[in-house]
Structure 1
Amino acid sequence: MFGDKKHFSRAIAGALVALSIIALVLNLVRVEDVTLPPTVKYGMVFDAGSSHTSLFVYEWDSDKENSTGVVSQTLACDVQGQGISSYASDPPKAGDSLRECLEHGLEAVPSAEQRNVPAYLGATAGMRLLREQNSSAAAQVLAEVTKTMQEYPVAFKGAQILTGEEEAAYGWITTNYLLDSFTKYSPRAHTWLRPEAANILGALDLGGASTQISFMPEGPGVNWNESSTFTLYGFSYSIYTHSYLCYGQNEMLRRLAKELIAESPSSTRVAHPCYPKGYTETISLSSFRTSPCTERSDPRLALPDSNVTLEGRGDASGCLAAVKKLFNFSACGQRQDCTFDGVYQPPVRGQFIAFSAFYYNFKFLNLTKGQSLATVRDIIQHFCTRSWEDLSASYPRENPARLPKYCANANYILTLLLDAYKFNETSWNNIFFQMKAGSADFGWTLGYMLNLTNMIPAEAPAWVKGQVPSLWAAAVTFIVLTLTLGLAALLLSFWL
């Protein structure tokens, strides 16, 4: 009888100990995703372009850092006036021009977070040209911009001039990040998967002073002078990038005007095939010296400091022919892997997002709906034949300084995409003219911030699991009590 009680006590103690061990194992194995109150972080990037400056404010949940598709654009503010390079003769005004947008940007950030906000300013082709023309003036403009930024309660990280290839590469990162092309989490496979290479998009950017192309070619690159390699989310990407300085639309228009004037030396009135009939514009020949793209003296210009009046002709085919003369296609010879000026480029591949001035020009012409190339050509040709009186009446709200330029811009885009980059009737359908993905703008700024804040890791993201705090506390309490009772019962069994 006494032995039976002893065995019974030991059996109970053993059962309690076993139960506590089982509870411990189950608690360690069975975990749940934890949703903690997120801490929102912010970042600011100034895009100091050649013709204007814009501020973008981004935000993301800190508990989702290094994931994908978590950054959202909170605010976009266009700085009044021209780009900061236009203040070369009065650098303090470059800094002052940023103040209004800086104040708007800070309004979008809680005051307690403002001093932790990383703020950047990246300057592009306008400042690249100024540095080429007057390096001390460029340095002074950046110094004044820095001085202004440091007056505000943000974690200013510096102002710098991006190279053309950096601008192209960051635009490519932004495009694919916003469209969730880099990586996706598969609940079924319990791992991160890279989409097929066909889902990686190319990026086409057209600014005021430069234009960029970046994409992932097929196969390994050969003789790439313009290539970038990234390791993102555990996968490597080798992309082709190139930036063409002086081939932005504003510099193109300036070069086109100079070429037309040079073809009619000593004349004070020059026909312009791209301008609408009935439109005139008077320019000073000395204005060509304000940009490195046109400052080189031309012996054909016999009147270096006079004014010349450009008279619109509304000649669609003449406009296209004049635009094509701006490209040196003969430098490529018979090479197929060449754009113009002897620049190497592998064949375009996959789908492309065309943003910035590509989008804005085609949006005005209502050409962003996936029309065929033949339709696009017909619409552009018809637009180019319309008179200035007709256009002014049809678009009363359009900026009168911008309206006469659409014909030249559209023909330039066609020449750049078809003759230079070598898109064709079929691959044209792979170009999507788009400016936003959700609330965020395409462009280089988001990719720039993601890179500098290490928001895109080289390694694949870890799928983090955690315990619900209340369940963890209850489980620990249960385990401790169970072990205590089990040990007490076991000790008692030895005394009985």
Structure 2
Amino acid sequence: MNLCAIIVHISCAHYEGLPILLHSFPDYTKGRSQQSVACEYHCMQTEPGLDKYVSNVSGLAAALEPLLHWAGNIVPSKKHKTTPIFVLATAGLRRLPSEDGSWVLENVEYIINRYGFMHQRSWIRILDGREEAYYGWLAVNYKMGRLGSSLDKPTFGALDLGGSSLEVVLEKGEVEENQHFLRSQIGLVGHNLLAYSLPSYGLNEAFERSLVLLSKEQSLKKSSSGKLELRHPCLNLGYMEKYTCNSCNVMPKANAQLNSSGSSQI
């Protein structure tokens, strides 16, 4: 799970303050800064996510400050005080104990206070799963020009495979009375939506669960390097990377090396 700062390009100059979003979400473009033209988004990521910095103020600062410095350099200094900043954490923080999540958010606010951007404590929070799913659907359909239009242009469903969770949203014609239903009114058009958030079905979590399952089904043996070897049918030949399995109980936080035989060494 990474952090991402998104800033509307300065040429979209109708805004009094240019909106900034510091958003925690899975992505594998490590440290890459992506810049587009006109009103497209600029994006910068750092990793890992906020959930990895419980009781680690210096680590939390090291994750946030590059984004804040980058935003401060792009947004004109005279607009810092009128530029709102939001921190919306997702599944990584949702799965933490409540006291750990609160600690992270309080210290995020402490770090942001050092900079001159406009913010409120209520803007620094953990999204629930349905909110995360809805915002993904909103982004997709805004990008595709399906919001605020007539009902003869149906909206797209959205499936967001994150690192920790999986979100699925689709529009329904009728109202449903259940915990997944929500009503969204955008302009003159209303949308009946079903929004699902499935914890532990994100890419990273699902891969870890596959390692746990395989470790229970196979007789583990040591490789020539002294590490336990676990054969994994989903790994490509020729791929090699060190891997730490936090969920495997064959040994505490087992270190895995993904090797060219299509297996992982723990």
The two structures have a TM-score, normalised by structure 1, of: 0.43
**1:96, CA displacement in angstroms?**
3.3
The answer on 1:258 being equivalent to 2:212 is yes
Q: How does 1:79-478 map onto structure 2 within 5 Å?
A: 79=46, 81-130=47-96, 134-157=97-120, 158-184=123-149, 194-198=150-154, 200-217=155-172, 219-264=173-218, 267=221, 268-277=228-237, 287-288=246-247, 303-305=250-252, 388=260
Q: How many residues align?
A: 239
Q: How does 1:15-34 map onto structure 2 within 5 Å?
A: none
| Partner Cα separation in structure 2 for residue 180 and residue 43 of structure 1 | 21
Query: Which 5+ residue runs of structure 1 have no aligned equivalent?
Result: 1-36, 57-70, 185-193, 290-300, 313-387, 392-403, 406-496
Alignment check: 8 A CA contact 2:17 2:84 kept = no
The two structures have a TM-score, normalised by structure 2, of: 0.77
The structure 2 residue matched to 1:77, chosen from 3, 27, 44, is 44
Alignment check: 8 A CA contact 1:269 1:308 kept = no
Change (3 A) 1:91 1:201: same
**1:176, CA displacement in angstroms?**
1.7
| Partner Cα separation in structure 1 for residue 258 and residue 15 of structure 2 | 59
**1:92, CA displacement in angstroms?**
3.8
Aligned amino acid, residue 210 of structure 1: S
- Hey, what does 1:61 align to over in structure 2? none
**1:204, CA displacement in angstroms?**
1.4
Change (3 A) 1:220 1:75: same
Change (3 A) 1:39 1:211: closer
Aligned amino acid, residue 45 of structure 2: D
- Hey, what does 2:10 align to over in structure 1? none
Alignment check: 8 A CA contact 1:272 1:310 kept = no
| Partner Cα separation in structure 2 for residue 174 and residue 306 of structure 1 | 37
More strand by share: 2
| Partner Cα separation in structure 1 for residue 25 and residue 186 of structure 2 | 27
Aligned amino acid, residue 276 of structure 1: N
Alignment check: 8 A CA contact 1:212 1:242 kept = yes
DSSP 3-state at the match of 1:156: coil
Superposed CA offset, 1:407-441 (max 9, x none)? xxxxxxxxxxxxxxxxxxxxxxxxxxxxxxxxxxx
Aligned-residue sequence identity (percent) comes to 23
**1:135, CA displacement in angstroms?**
2.5
More helix by share: 1
Alignment check: 8 A CA contact 1:92 1:144 kept = no
| Partner Cα separation in structure 2 for residue 120 and residue 147 of structure 1 | 14
Q: Which has the larger radius of gyration?
A: 1
Superposed CA offset, 1:287-329 (max 9, x none)? 217xxxxxxxxxxx6x4449586776xxxxxxxxxxxxxxxxx
Change (3 A) 1:104 1:266: closer
**1:277, CA displacement in angstroms?**
4.1
Structure with larger RCO (C-alpha < 8 A, sep 6+): 1
Aligned amino acid, residue 216 of structure 1: E
DSSP 3-state at the match of 2:100: helix
| Partner Cα separation in structure 1 for residue 117 and residue 208 of structure 2 | 38
